[in-house]
Amino acid sequence: MHEAGSNDPRPSRRGFLDLFIAGGFLSWLGMVVYPIIAYLTPPRDTEAKATSAKVPKPVSEFPPNSSLIFAFGGDPALVVRSPAGTFTAFYATCTHLDCTVQYRADQGVIWCACHNGKYDLAGKNVSGPPPRPLAPLQVHVRGDEIYVSREVS
């Protein structure tokens, strides 16, 4: 038996247990603290925000009173061609709780299926819980091609 304070250079049982407990505590701390820090630290933006993009559907295949949702950078975007034939575009993220909105041709509104939120074709919130209008995008029609771009404020 080796007691603390003896002249024996071998570690005591007590020293070994202290070392074991300290190692276990540090391991536990790493398992608890690292996920918390990783959760609280925002991820790097791996995809640069797009400033403009070509809509993957030409004007000739885009009849009035129809729409298209497509990826604009890392976000969903919605292009709507009104019954009168004009184009509007928005980020397709609902301003309530971030569900993706869609165009309801039967009602002539942009609709969020999550909580029945509705926006008019100008992107204004008109019914349901959405607190703000949709974020607009600019539309540029060049020949048969459609482009959208972020609004510069």
Footprint on this chain of ligand FES (rule: CB under 6 A): 94, 96-97, 99, 112, 114-115, 117, 128-130
Q: Burial letters for 72-104: b for 16+ Cβ neighbours within 10 Å, e otherwise?
A: bbeebbbbbbeeeeebbbbbbbbbbeeebbbbe
CB nearer to ligand FES: pick between 126 and 141: 126
CB nearer to ligand FES: pick between 14 and 115: 115
Distance in Å, CB of 148 to ligand FES, minimum = 21
- Using Cβ positions, the residue closest to ligand FES within the complex turns out to be 117
Distance in Å, CB of 136 to ligand FES, minimum = 17
Distance CA 91, CA 89 (A): 7
Distance in Å, CB of 135 to ligand FES, minimum = 14
Amino acid residing at 151: E
CB nearer to ligand FES: pick between 54 and 132: 132
CB nearer to ligand FES: pick between 96 and 140: 96
Q: Which of 116, 112, 108, 126 is nearest to 66 (CA)?
A: 108
Per this entry, what is the length of the chain?
153
Distance in Å, CB of 99 to ligand FES, minimum = 4
The answer to whether residues 93 and 112 touch, using CB atoms and an 8 Å cutoff, is no
The H or E element spanning position 18 is helix 13-40
